[in-house]
Structure 1
Amino acid sequence: MEAIIAKTEKQLNDAFFVRKEVFVKEQHVPEEEEIDQFEDTSEHIVVYDGGQPVGAGRWRLKDGHGKLERICVMKSHRSLGVGAIIMRALEKAAEAKGADSFILHAQTQAVPFYEKQGYRVTSGEEFLDAGIPHLEMVKKQKL
């Protein structure tokens, strides 16, 4: 499996395809909420397995932090390490642009996964995003 930064329209559409499959079809997030105003200012990552897109995520710089968003893996590829591949690729891309820490809004059911990646819950105050419970998490780079 290979994670790449989406540089072509096809690669970007592949990332959107995975996001639509996971968030819109599977989790019932309205499509108008899934695609937002940050698409053009974010750097997108897509993971391929044998040429097929199986995972995606994006990041953007926010207040000096790498804000990781829209991280998702196709149901067929969960528990195969794709999520960790996405996280490493997003963090590496953000570091290359000067981010010294990372933040994300994790679906509460995914918190254990992010904790394994070195993230910790910041406040513990749950909030809803697209009707799904989330917690804010942070990870600082090792100095």
Structure 2
Amino acid sequence: MIVEIRATDPLMSAVYALRREVFVIEQGVPEELEVDEYDNVAAHLAALSDGHVVGTLRIVRHDRTAKIGRMAVSAHSRKAGLGRELMEFAATAVSRDGAQEIILAAQFTAREFYRRLGYIEEGAVFDDAGISHVMMRKKLRP
């Protein structure tokens, strides 16, 4: 089950714990960079299994553009389609709310995953927190 929550929701502690597990522990992102000022204004998606958060992403709206970030799936839940489900849920939600496009900074190693979902690479590869990324964009149908 996927639910949309805000920064004040009690589930956010589990969302932050999952993000810390994936980004800080597994990928070596500096802990001070993992949570930022956008977390308080973003809509967060939490994928639940047996009451536990096993996947998440956040959505920050900028007029008619939605920016997806901080997508994480727990190690034991990967390769089962949960990432795709989170991305499709997010696209439906922001489209319903009037967004015309989604942008995201994809980890370079994950760009094929986003391509399969209809995202197109834009610009040069860049470093974010020691990890190579590329900007990607997807136009949404009205």
Shared fold, TM over 0.5: yes
Q: Could you tell me how far apart the structure 1 residues matched to 2:93 and 2:49 are?
A: 20
1:5 has 2:4 as partner: yes
**Structure 2 residue ranges without an equivalent (≥5):** none
1:127-142 superposed matches below 5 A: 127-142=126-141
Aligned to 1:50: 50
Tell me the TM-score normalized by structure 1: 0.93
Letter in 1 for 2:141: K
Aligned to 1:35: 35
Aligned to 2:119: 119
Letter in 1 for 2:56: A
Aligned to 2:106: 106
Q: Could you tell me how far apart the structure 1 residues matched to 2:69 and 2:62 are?
A: 12
Cα deviation digits, residues 33-90 of structure 1 (max 9, x gap): 0100101110000101121111000001125211001011111111001101110122
Helix, strand or coil: the match of 2:39? Answer: coil
Q: CA deviation at 1:105?
A: 0.2
Aligned to 1:62: 62
Query: Root-mean-square deviation (CA), in Å?
Result: 1.3
Aligned to 1:71: 71
Cα deviation digits, residues 10-41 of structure 1 (max 9, x gap): 21122111111100111111111010010111
Q: Could you tell me how far apart the structure 1 residues matched to 2:98 and 2:61 are?
A: 9
Residues 63 and 99 of structure 2 are in contact (CA less than 8 Å); yes or no, is this contact kept in structure 1?
no
After the TM superposition, list the runs of 4 or more consecutive aligned residues in structure 1 that deviate by more than 3 angstroms.
none
Percent of paired sites with the same residue: 34
Cα deviation digits, residues 74-112 of structure 1 (max 9, x gap): 111110011011101222222232211100000000001
Letter in 2 for 1:23: F
Shift of the 129–63 alpha-carbon distance from structure 1 to 2, 3 Å rule, reads farther
Tell me the TM-score normalized by structure 2: 0.93
Letter in 1 for 2:117: Q
**Structure 1 residue ranges without an equivalent (≥5):** none
Q: Could you tell me how far apart the structure 1 residues matched to 2:91 and 2:29 are?
A: 25
Residues 4 and 45 of structure 2 are in contact (CA less than 8 Å); yes or no, is this contact kept in structure 1?
yes
